[in-house]
């Protein structure tokens, strides 16, 4: 693919982390990741960030919107609530199992105005200006460069339409008597993801993509109980054997960390927090 005249970037710049290779992974691993995404989607910080973006895309009933990197279609109910059954919702994602699962979700909701297709955020199969808005949720951290993804989302959005993104910094401010183990746990994500700090750079990327009226917001995820919401145990505890298996953390350190947080949790001396960040911007007439 030739370099984009707008960004100077081409497919040779594209890269992603393990989230770009899920089609090659065993089905049960992908199902497990799908379960984590489902838990993430209802955690208040992620849910609030998604709803903030959807509200600020300035969509009304009957509007059209595309989610790039739509996963299992976790945003569908929120998007439907805004554009209604007379609107149009599209989702693209490279992971076949997620596209199937998103299609099943749309069918279960009886949503006939929804299409999920296999696709890539950096080369969206849609016409210029085809949608009123485009957004992505927890994708730029895994695949990019962000500039190429935002340029494509802007291309398929009409002039006057909006673009949004939700990202998070996977740094857990977590209680522990073992600061060394907390460092090792947080290092897992810094090593595993494609663009660790993208959440803090959304405004910069949006402006570089030629978007205007850029606004950002932050949402705090916090708990004082590992079992207060399924996300916490699923993400921190249940994924640990996989992190050990792929060499992201030493097994003894991982076990010490988990034993420590379980003990603190049992004594009600546990807490964990991280931040989710979101941005919206507008595509103006004459957008380059």
Ligand X SMILES: C[S@@+](CC[C@H](N)C(=O)[O-])C[C@H]1O[C@@H](n2cnc3c(N)ncnc32)[C@H](O)[C@@H]1O
Per CB under 6 A, 278 contacts ligand X: no
C-alpha–C-alpha distance, residues 219 and 47, integer Å: 10
Per CB under 6 A, 195 contacts ligand X: no
84, 114, 142, 244 from 169: Cα distances, Å? 32, 30, 12, 21
Q: How far is the CB of 191 from ligand X (least distance, A)?
A: 17
The interface region with ligand X, picked from 19-27, 102-110, 127-135, 256-264 by CB under 6 A, is 19-27
Place of tokens 């919401």: 229
Nearer to ligand X, 139 or 154 (CB): 139
Nearer to ligand X, 65 or 139 (CB): 139
Per CB under 6 A, 139 contacts ligand X: yes
Q: How far is the CB of 115 from ligand X (least distance, A)?
A: 15
Residue 173: how many CB atoms within 10 A of its CB? 13
Q: How far is the CB of 122 from ligand X (least distance, A)?
A: 6
Size of the site for ligand X (CB under 6 A): 24
**DSSP state, residue 170:** E
Per CB under 6 A, 63 contacts ligand X: no
Q: CA triplet 139, 144, 148: central angle to 5 degrees?
A: 110
What residues form DSSP beta bridges with 90?
Answer: 66, 115
Nearer to ligand X, 56 or 95 (CB): 95
Judge contact between 103 and 117, C-beta under 8 A.
no
Query: Which 87-116 residues touch ligand X, going by CB under 6 A?
Result: 93-95, 98
CA 88 to chain centre: 21
Per CB under 6 A, 146 contacts ligand X: no
C-alpha–C-alpha distance, residues 181 and 267, integer Å: 19
Nearer to ligand X, 165 or 264 (CB): 165
Per CB under 6 A, 137 contacts ligand X: yes
Taking CB under 6 A as the criterion, the residue among 39, 45, 66, 68 binding ligand X is: 68
Helices and strands in the chain: count of H runs, count of E runs = 10, 9
Judge contact between 46 and 120, C-beta under 8 A.
no
Strands 212-223 and 131-137: unpaired
Per CB under 6 A, 142 contacts ligand X: yes
Per CB under 6 A, 121 contacts ligand X: yes
User: Binding residues for ligand X, per CB under 6 A?
Assistant: 16, 19-20, 22, 37, 41, 68-72, 74, 93-95, 98, 120-122, 137-139, 142-143
């Amino acid at each position: 693919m030739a370099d984009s005249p707008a960004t100077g970037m081409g497919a040779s710049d594209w890269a992603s982390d393990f989230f770009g290779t899920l089609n090659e992974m065993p089905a049960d691993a992908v199902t497990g990741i799908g379960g984590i995404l489902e838990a993430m989607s209802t955690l208040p910080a992620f849910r609030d960030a998604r709803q903030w973006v959807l509200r600020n895309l300035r969509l009304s009933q009957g509007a059209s919107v595309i989610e790039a990197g739509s996963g299992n279609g976790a945003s569908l109910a929120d998007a439907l609530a805004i554009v209604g059954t007379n609107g149009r919702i599209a989702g693209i994602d490279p992971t076949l199992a997620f596209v199937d699962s998103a299609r099943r979700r749309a069918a279960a909701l009886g949503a006939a105005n929804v299409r999920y297709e296999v696709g890539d955020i950096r080369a969206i199969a849609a016409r210029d200006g085809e949608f009123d808005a485009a957004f992505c949720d927890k994708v730029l951290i895994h695949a990019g460069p962000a500039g190429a993804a935002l340029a494509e989302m802007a291309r398929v959005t009409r002039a006057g339409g909006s673009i949004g993104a939700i990202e998070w910094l996977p740094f857990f401010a977590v209680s522990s008597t073992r600061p060394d183990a907390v460092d090792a746990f947080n290092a897992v994500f810094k090593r595993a993801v494609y663009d660790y700090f993208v959440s803090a750079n959304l405004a910069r990327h949006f402006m570089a993509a030629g978007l205007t009226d850029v606004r950002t917001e932050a949402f705090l995820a916090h708990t004082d109980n590992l079992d207060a919401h399924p996300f916490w145990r699923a993400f921190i505890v249940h994924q640990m054997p996989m992190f050990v298996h792929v060499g992201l953390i030493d097994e003894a350190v991982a076990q010490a960390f988990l034993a420590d947080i379980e003990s603190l949790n049992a004594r009600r001396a546990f807490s964990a927090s991280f931040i989710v960040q979101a941005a919206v911007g507008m595509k103006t007439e004459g957008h380059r």
